[in-house]
Structure 1
């Protein structure tokens, strides 16, 4: 009796195993990412400046317990320290992503010896990809600058703007108009120079971005403020829209070769420096809406790797006892950056390589591998380096 019962159970288990095998072979049980290509054509790197786990948690619990970032299936952590300090700044942190090196705080696109190092954006250009930068700070601020400039001090804003025009970057969106058309250290008008390079040049004083014609037959420079853009609580509303339109723009500009873009939610950091928890949450939610636009693009194309991280945490933010859903009581331990490990979220082809714990410089290496760029030693930048040594 027992023997016959075991035979029946074994037979049913074999039948179930066979059906499962057939279903898997037909693809009905395959994971979603199995349909993705081996390598991405496009990479979208999104940096929430100053955004640690507490900032993400506060934004989520202030938004009915939901964020777009939750849709990203791969999670890792990077070690954010710089060459000369356990607590990094944005310049060294972004240079780690852009160049794959640890450098001193304040450095933009140069190594510890002030030698310029080629960035992932510059390498993407060399490989025929379209490229872009978006920020809610000035476009010459530390994070965007690290992907396109080579100076020893993040405060060399005019030199950074001068470095930018040496490249063929397809799209630049951010504040800082004064560093292009009313410079203090020379008489150059970079507005006119960009126009001579066949860029569409526009700004907040000429037309609203939402009314602008996005013509992909030429490169685009759009400056959103004379210096820093407003914070989101004061009316700034362009980041999600600029993200969506810029991805469509670069897709056309790339002529099917692919693109690289860095998109920064710059002012999460500034709100945390000011220990303004409510504004930090608003800035994080604005950034998350931009993440939603990037994920919509990636899902519809199937060939795009989206990476979301931060250069560092700011403020030592905590969610205090007494906090409730949609009514968070944040607290801060400092007005400065901290050395906490930083989450890295990824979606799309080759996203699984972003799981685990790794150095912030590994993000550069992983992006190069995803694009299939040839393995080389750290490449020196072959232009001049403002305030430092020429390679």
Structure 2
């Protein structure tokens, strides 16, 4: 690690500028579904009852002004309606609701009114708008410095957790500099030659089953990474640099993936917090976006609640630590969800 500067204000400012939360709440709303969403899937009624208990978060406002840790949680594709769906399905409670400051952000990219996750991820990671599809580069294909890189140059530990390929658009925006988000094999090489200390997600095939026949896993190990291929293997690692590459492609949907996201968030915090200089951690609830694309309310709710459990892990850590800034945001909204008027009386 490069020797730290005492304070981290330059990095904080770049994140605080983009930290408007992409959600709000509608007063004392009725819980239309009382914790049970039903949606027809291939002619059958699909029911999800994966509720979670929300423990009241106290004293977050008492966080010390001398912030040394940042946890950035991104709900990919998460708009107001997605939050409201999870809120309603979970008996009108989410950890997200304990955020102290709430706002909105404009998500259009440099060249499109409707952004994609690459351009939006770059805006969040680097503080600058770019063209759709670009990762870590401006509209002229010039590389941009990310908040993760800034954190590392201040001597801080860094980590990325995502419920998808770790080489996918949002996590890659914090590491890579490529003109096209689909350059997965090129993106994987940026992960090898990066400031990262912790990375957890899928995408193993981009490292060891490549078209160029390179195997990047030995290079990762040479960079000091301990590689885990499952959550159980990860549980055995207590410190140091770690790469959790659990699947060849994307991580499975919830509930098939189990407690991957909250457990991985907790594990990343456990390892990164050992750095006395502080850390930067980005956690992505990747599949809220895909649920919106699928027009599946059940999928949206399950991904929202799983993401919210990870938010809870971050807030509880911040409450105990007292020197941690937690930012919850979205890169854009997907799906234009709404509650149809015929559902007003559902119990």
Q: TM-score, normalised by structure 2?
A: 0.80
Contact kept in structure 2, 1:209 and 1:238, CA below 8 Å: no
Deviation at 1:33, TM superposition (A): 6.2
Q: Which residue of 2 aligns with 1:259?
A: 279
Unaligned runs of 5+ in 1: 1-30, 328-391
Deviation at 1:277, TM superposition (A): 1.1
Deviation at 1:158, TM superposition (A): 0.4
Q: Which residue of 2 aligns with 1:106?
A: 133
Q: Which residue of 2 aligns with 1:133?
A: 160
Q: Which residue of 2 aligns with 1:51?
A: 78
Residue 285 in 1 paired to residue 305 in 2? yes
Q: For 2:214, which of 170, 183, 188 is the aligned residue?
A: 188
Q: Give me the whole-angstrom Cα distance separating, in 2, the residues matched to 1:260 and 1:150.
A: 19
1:64 counterpart SS class: coil
Q: For 1:249, which of 271, 275, 280 is the aligned residue?
A: 271
What's the C-alpha RMSD, in Å, of the aligned pairs? 1.7
Q: Give me the whole-angstrom Cα distance separating, in 2, the residues matched to 1:59 and 1:326.
A: 16
Q: Give me the whole-angstrom Cα distance separating, in 2, the residues matched to 1:210 and 1:319.
A: 42
CA deviation vs aligned residue, 1:27-46 (integer Å, no higher than 9, x gap): xxxx9567432231100000
Deviation at 1:211, TM superposition (A): 6.4
Residue 39 in 1 paired to residue 59 in 2? no
Q: Which residue of 2 aligns with 1:305?
A: 325
2:300 counterpart SS class: helix
Q: Give me the whole-angstrom Cα distance separating, in 2, the residues matched to 1:34 and 1:273.
A: 36
Q: Give me the whole-angstrom Cα distance separating, in 1, the residues matched to 2:134 and 2:255.
A: 31
Counting helix residues as a fraction of each chain, which structure ranks higher? 1
Residue 117 in 1 paired to residue 144 in 2? yes
Q: Give me the whole-angstrom Cα distance separating, in 1, the residues matched to 2:320 and 2:128.
A: 34
- If you compute each CA radius of gyration, which structure gives the higher value, 1 or 2? 1
Unaligned runs of 5+ in 2: 1-57
Q: Give me the whole-angstrom Cα distance separating, in 2, the residues matched to 1:167 and 1:326.
A: 51
Q: TM-score, normalised by structure 1?
A: 0.71
Contact kept in structure 2, 1:132 and 1:260, CA below 8 Å: yes
Aligned residues: 290
Contact kept in structure 2, 1:140 and 1:176, CA below 8 Å: yes
